[in-house]
Amino acid sequence: MAIILTLHGPNLNLLGVREPEQYGNETLGSIDTRLFDLANQLGHSLSSLQSNSEAELTNQLHATTADFIIFNPAAFTHTSIVLRDALLAIAKPFVEVHISNIFRRESFRQHSYFSDIAIGTINGLGAEGYLLALRYAHIYLSGVNNVLWTCEKSAN
């Protein structure tokens, strides 16, 4: 059984009421419930934290014993060298998740301080992106960590 940590950045506590045309109607509580259920089905332990505080997220990263991280840095995506440095320091595999497609939004939202150090990014797929990230974590933790290479090899 692996330990998976889900971190939700600022303003994600307002999901379901905040800009539903951009972020949908599902609440963070509902997303977390779906994640906990799927983690249980896959045989993993999951913990989740949402914070509007960069310091709290950083402290959680420093203290984590997780084997894998699912991270939606939200607005910190475009600003937080502190969180980037924390992720580099702990050297844990992670997937960056965004509910909206950051590349279809304002130009200042199209830069991420995390994408180049993440295993991968999922954006624009709504709340389902979290579940896809969890499914990928399961594959990664099962030892099949080069899925693209495996798919390309199979196609040839």
Catalytic residue among 8, 23, 113, 138: 23
Lookup: tokens for 22: 């951009």
SS3 category, 4: strand
E strands in the chain: 3-8, 45-50, 68-72, 94-98, 120-123
Lookup: tokens for 32: 């977390």
Residue 31: closest CA among 102, 112, 132, 109: 132
Say how far apart CA 127 and CA 11 lie, in whole Å: 15
Instruction: Answer yes or no: 140 catalytic.
Output: no
Catalytic residue among 98, 113, 138, 140: 98
SS3 category, 56: helix
Q: What are phi and psi of 69, to 5 degrees?
A: -125, 135
Instruction: Answer yes or no: 44 catalytic.
Output: no
Say how far apart CA 102 and CA 96 lie, in whole Å: 12
The catalytic site residues sit at: 23, 98
